[in-house]
Every structure is written in structure tokens, then in C-alpha cells.
């Protein structure tokens, strides 16, 4: 096997630039499948570094493929990559097993569109499942329209579910649902834009993480290792819903780190995101830590001066019904937001360190808001601020609220007011029956992706799942509306959807005989210009 230099070697790691050094290689293939129940085993013959002539570092290496199936089989001892695909389209994977914990990467999905992965079980040493966009084929290519569901991931040294680090082309439309992550020595859910990529419309739901060094990390960097003189990338329109995580390193708190100018992080929501970190640090200076902008790893940023969340250069953030706790007493604030704007915490819970200067600290933040929060003992959150301004009123093109009591609903439903804490003039209590529903008419200024947020209460211990349809098309099946602990405890569920310009019909329908939870409202996309009041938007209770 001859290893030839590629004219694009300088733009990505060596292993990404060379495709022939694999047990199985193909280029420009259509309708190709690896299926069944067998094992393809590298058996120690594949190397984990840069191969020389006669050596290989991959099991499967495919470029420019269409209609690929990887289902049922096991890939074992994959060297540098068990599987690497680049510039492929329409990829389906069901019940794929990757066992390369003794080697390096599981599956690198690069410059690829239209991907559906279900039932995966990946145990890797380096990145388990990574979505990347490199310049190995001499062009900046697009990525997106991806779903990953009902899967298990673990990563020994590195990242479990990762965007990057190679990030030349843009990424859009990703859905990650019902995923278990056990162990990663870098990021559990990692997202970096290092080489000019714009990452947007990414949604995480129902994910559990244990033993991860940095549970959630977003970073915009300036490595710019991509052809055609890339600028600085960006991260925007990301949602995290129903996330549970246990971190294992006190230094690497969950982090959102944007760049100044066009590289800021924008419009990220956290709904029902509960994170426990080790804690155990003492009080420290709250000035921004050092940062190596060309390095994507969590340790490229120094020890965070907050134990729970560290936020820098980010705008339009929403934390709802979320919490952070520590295993050992910590002297740092739970949250620090620096150089950001429009940052809101609704019903946020933070464990208080005995020597911490504050619970939430805002530094040079324009328009922060904290409502309904508490510490884990039930006391009020202590808010610190330097050079920051509070704004709990309308802050621009925020979501428009559609109250359930003004919507359509199943005959036999009632509009009730007997449980406090609701928005508007009441909430809808539907019959306990399959098919019970509430239906809103939601207006969108333009066609495109949107985030629908449904407020509810469920005072039982039984989940009351709903199917969500938009204009008659199901966009989410069996969405959990779990127990909230009391009928007066209101939480939200976030559903990503595509809307058409103008009026859209959004229906939430019960799938079990228990019917729906008490439904309070739906928050849809804004329909007014920045800063302008919306005369049709009801006041929020």
C-alpha cells in the first residue's frame, strides 16, 4: 500500500486526508450496505497513529457514496477509525455496534447529509460519534438533516457525541434523542466551530450522561484550518431538553464560549437540564479564565470561575426549570455570564456554596433576568452584578405566547384556575382519554425551523405523552410530559418543528388513556421586529 501526499493535507489531521489505508475502501459508490450480524475485526492489525506504507488505520473508509446502510454488524479494534465516511448522502444505520475502546475513534461522519442512526452501541477510546466537515476532498461541503436516537455512547479519553474539531462546512438540522452516555474524558455533548463553520438548528432531548469530564461544551475558536480563507464561525439556535448529567472534573464546568463580533453564540435554550458536578473548589477570582482560541479541547479554557455554568460572548440564552448541584461544597458561583446579553433564568435552582460570593453573577451583561429561582434549600438566589443591567420585560423578538385557554380543544375539556402559577387566565384540563388534544394556530413571519415551547403541569407520577403535529404532519411522537411533582409545579417541553409562513396549526394529542397533562400555553416564534411590542401577545403570569 502506497501512502501518497494529498494536496489538502494541511487542512485536517492526517488520518482524515488518506482514505485508501483501510481494510475496506470505496469511492463514488451507490446502494452499498454492510448488514447482518457478523463482526469485522481489525484484530490488532490496524494502527492508531499515522500509517506508513503497508499499514492501515481504518476498517471502513468511504467517500462520495450515496444510499449507504450500516446495520446489525459489529466493528471491532478499528485502529484510528472503525468507520470514516466523507461526502456521502442518505445514510441509514440500525443496531450498529462499534467496539474500539482499545484503539481510537468509533464513527466519523464527515461532510455528509441525510443520516439516520438508531440503536447504536459505540464504545470508543477517542471520539465515539463525531460529526465533522473537513477539506480533505478539496472543497467546503455542507452537512445536515441528521437524526440519532435510542443509542449508547462511551469515550475513554475524548468526546462521546461531538461536532468537530474539523469544522469547515456549515451544519444544520440535527436531532439527538434518547441517548445514554457513560464516560468521556473530554465532552459529553461537545460542539465547537474552529474553522469557520456555522452550526445551527441542533436539538438534544432525553439524554443521560454519567462520568463525563465536561457535560456540555460549546466553543467558537479561530483555528481557521480550512481552504478558501474561512472567517470565524458561529453557533446558534440550539436546544437542550430533558438532560441529566454527572460531571467528573471541577475545573471544566459546562461552558458556552463565543468569540467577539460575528463569532458569538446565539439563541440557546436549556429546558429541564439538571447537572451535578464534583465541586470541591475554593473561592477564586471571578475574572475570565485564559483561552487558547486555536484549541478545541475543554482544557483550552482555564479553570472556570463558576462551578455550574460559565458563559462568555453569548446572546439570547434561556434556562427554564433547570438546576446545578455539586457533590462537594464549592466556593465559586453556580453561574457566571460575562460579556453577554439577553440571558434569562426562569425557575432555576442552584446549590449554594458556603463561601461563594453569589449564586448567579452577571459581568457586563446587557439585559439579564432571573425569575422564580431558588437555592436547593428553598432560599432566594443571590444575584451579583458588575456593569450589568436587568431587563425582565420584552427584549426584542422573543417568543410569542399562545394561551391554551384561547386555543381549540377536545369537547369535554375545561378551562380551570384551581392550580396557581399558570400563565394567562387559566389552563386547559382535557378528558382522560386517548386523542384528547389542544390545538393552537401559530403565526410565523417566514418559513423555516422554529422552536415550540409548551407549558404544562402533571401532578401525577405517570408520564402523559403527546404526539405533536404541525399542519397535519407529525413532527414528534410520544413526547414525554413527565410528572412535575405537583399540579402547581409548571414545566416546559420544547419541540423543534418546521413552520410555513403565515398561520400554522399545532396540535398536541394524548396517546394514552390518562389523557394530556394540564396544558398552559405554547410559545412560538416572534412575529414582530426587535424591540417592538406585540399587541396580540398576552401578558405572562
Q: How many degrees, rounded to 5, is the angle at CA 100 between CA 208 and CA 298?
A: 50
Percent of the chain with pLDDT over 90: 81
Q: What is the secondary structure of 351-392 as a DSSP string?
A: PPPTT-S-SEEEES-EEEEEES-EETTSPPPPEEEES-EE--
Q: How many domains does the chain have?
A: 1
Report residue 493's pLDDT band, with 50, 70 and 90 as the boundaries.
confident
Does residue 463 sit within a domain?
A: yes
Among candidate residues 48, 95, 89, the one with its CA nearest the CA of residue 71: 95
- CATH number at 441 reads 2.60.120.260
pLDDT value of position 394: 56
Does residue 221 sit within a domain?
A: no
Domain hosting residue 467, numbered range: 400-524
Distance CA 247, CA 512 (A): 35
Distance CA 228, CA 230 (A): 6
Query: At a CB cut-off of 8 Å and minimum separation 6, what does 381 contact?
Result: 348, 350, 359, 360, 370, 373, 374, 375
Report residue 490's pLDDT band, with 50, 70 and 90 as the boundaries.
confident
Does residue 379 sit within a domain?
A: no
Does residue 39 sit within a domain?
A: no
Could you tell me if 311 and 340 are in contact, meaning their C-beta atoms sit under 8 angstroms apart? yes
Report residue 47's pLDDT band, with 50, 70 and 90 as the boundaries.
very high
Does residue 455 sit within a domain?
A: yes
Does residue 513 sit within a domain?
A: yes
pLDDT value at 535 more than 70: no
pLDDT value at 522 more than 80: yes
* pLDDT tens profile 1-45: 344 567 888 888 888 888 999 999 999 999 999 999 999 999 999
Cα of 169 vs its chain's centroid, Å: 19
Distance CA 144, CA 193 (A): 15
Does residue 318 sit within a domain?
A: no
pLDDT value of position 111: 98
Among candidate residues 338, 339, 378, 377, the one with its CA nearest the CA of residue 360: 338
Distance CA 155, CA 106 (A): 9
Percent of the chain with pLDDT over 70: 95
Top-confidence residue, 537 or 222: 222
Does residue 91 sit within a domain?
A: no
Could you tell me if 226 and 199 are in contact, meaning their C-beta atoms sit under 8 angstroms apart? no
* pLDDT tens profile 151-164: 999 999 999 999 99
SS (H, E, C) 474-527: EEEEEECCCCCCCCCCCEEEEEEEEECCEEEEEEEEECCCCCCCEEEEEEECCC
Instruction: Please compute the mean of the pLDDT values over residues 191-199 and round it to a whole number.
Output: 97
Pairing between strand 113-118 and 473-479? unpaired
Distance CA 299, CA 503 (A): 47
pLDDT value of position 6: 74
* pLDDT tens profile 429-486: 999 999 999 999 998 888 988 889 899 999 999 999 999 999 999 999 999 998 988 8
pLDDT value at 174 more than 50: yes
Amino acid at each position: 500500500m502506497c501512502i501518497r501526499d494529498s494536496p489538502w493535507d494541511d487542512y485536517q489531521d492526517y488520518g482524515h486526508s488518506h482514505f485508501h489505508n483501510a481494510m475496506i475502501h470505496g469511492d463514488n459508490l451507490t446502494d452499498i450496505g454492510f448488514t447482518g450480524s457478523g463482526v469485522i475485526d481489525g484484530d490488532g492489525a490496524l494502527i492508531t497513529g499515522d500509517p506508513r506504507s503497508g499499514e492501515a488505520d481504518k476498517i471502513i473508509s468511504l467517500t462520495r457514496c450515496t444510499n449507504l446502510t450500516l446495520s446489525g454488524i459489529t466493528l471491532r479494534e478499528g485502529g484510528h477509525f472503525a468507520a470514516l465516511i466523507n461526502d456521502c448522502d442518505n445514510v441509514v444505520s440500525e443496531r450498529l455496534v462499534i467496539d474500539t475502546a482499545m484503539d481510537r475513534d468509533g464513527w466519523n461522519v464527515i461532510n455528509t447529509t441525510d443520516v439516520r442512526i438508531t440503536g447504536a452501541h459505540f464504545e470508543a477510546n477517542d471520539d465515539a460519534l463525531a460529526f465533522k466537515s473537513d477539506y480533505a476532498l478539496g472543497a467546503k461541503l455542507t452537512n445536515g438533516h441528521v437524526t440519532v436516537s435510542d443509542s449508547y455512547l462511551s469515550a475513554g479519553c475524548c468526546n462521546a457525541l461531538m461536532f468537530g474539531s474539523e469544522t469547515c462546512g456549515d451544519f444544520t438540522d440535527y436531532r439527538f434523542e434518547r441517548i445514554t452516555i457513560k464516560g468521556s474524558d473530554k465532552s459529553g455533548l461537545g460542539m465547537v466551530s474552529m474553522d469557520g463553520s456555522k452550526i445551527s438548528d441542533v436539538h438534544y432531548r432525553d439524554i443521560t450522561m454519567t462520568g463525563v469530564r465536561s457535560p456540555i461544551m460549546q466553543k467558537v475558536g479561530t483555528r481557521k484550518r480550512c481552504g478558501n480563507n474561512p472567517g470565524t464561525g458561529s453557533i446558534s439556535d440550539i436546544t437542550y431538553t430533558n438532560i441529566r448529567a454527572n460531571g467528573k472534573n471541577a475545573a471544566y464546568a459546562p461552558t458556552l464560549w463565543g468569540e467577539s463580533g460575528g463569532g458569538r453564540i446565539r439563541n440557546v435554550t436549556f429546558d429541564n437540564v439538571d447537572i451535578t458536578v464534583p465541586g470541591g473548589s475554593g473561592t477564586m477570582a471571578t475574572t475570565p479564565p485564559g483561552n487558547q482560541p486555536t484549541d478545541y479541547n475543554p482544557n483550552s479554557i482555564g479553570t472556570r470561575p463558576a462551578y455550574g455554568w460559565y458563559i462568555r460572548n453569548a446572546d439570547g440564552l434561556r434556562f427554564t426549570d433547570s438546576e446545578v448541584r455539586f457533590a462537594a461544597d464549592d466556593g465559586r458561583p453556580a453561574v457566571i455570564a460575562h460579556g453577554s446579553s439577553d440571558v434569562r433564568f426562569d425557575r432555576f435552582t442552584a446549590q449554594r456554596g458556603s463561601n461563594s460570593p453569589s449564586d448567579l453573577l452577571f459581568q457586563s451583561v446587557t439585559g439579564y433576568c432571573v425569575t422564580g429561582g431558588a437555592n436547593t434549600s428553598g432560599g432566594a438566589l443571590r444575584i451579583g452584578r458588575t456593569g450589568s443591567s436587568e431587563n425582565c420585560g420584552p427584549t426584542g423578538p422573543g417568543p410569542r405566547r399562545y394561551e391554551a385557554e384561547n386555543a381549540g380543544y377536545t369537547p369535554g375539556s375545561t378551562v380551570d384556575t384551581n392550580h396557581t402559577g399558570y400563565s394567562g387566565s387559566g389552563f386547559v384540563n382535557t378528558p382522560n382519554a386517548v386523542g384528547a388534544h389542544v390545538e393552537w394556530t401559530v403565526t410565523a413571519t417566514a418559513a423555516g425551523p422554529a422552536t415550540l415551547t409548551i407549558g404544562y403541569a402533571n401532578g401525577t407520577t405517570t408520564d402523559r405523552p403527546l404526539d405533536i403535529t404541525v399542519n397535519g404532519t407529525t413532527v414528534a411522537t410520544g413526547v414525554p410530559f413527565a410528572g412535575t411533582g405537583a399540579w402547581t409545579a409548571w414545566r416546559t417541553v420544547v419541540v423543534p418543528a418546521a413552520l410555513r409562513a403565515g398561520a400554522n396549526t399545532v396540535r398536541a394529542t394524548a396517546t394514552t388513556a390518562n389523557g394530556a397533562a394540564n396544558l398552559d400555553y405554547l410559545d412560538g416564534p416572534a412575529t414582530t421586529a426587535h424591540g417592538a411590542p406585540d399587541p396580540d401577545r398576552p401578558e405572562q403570569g
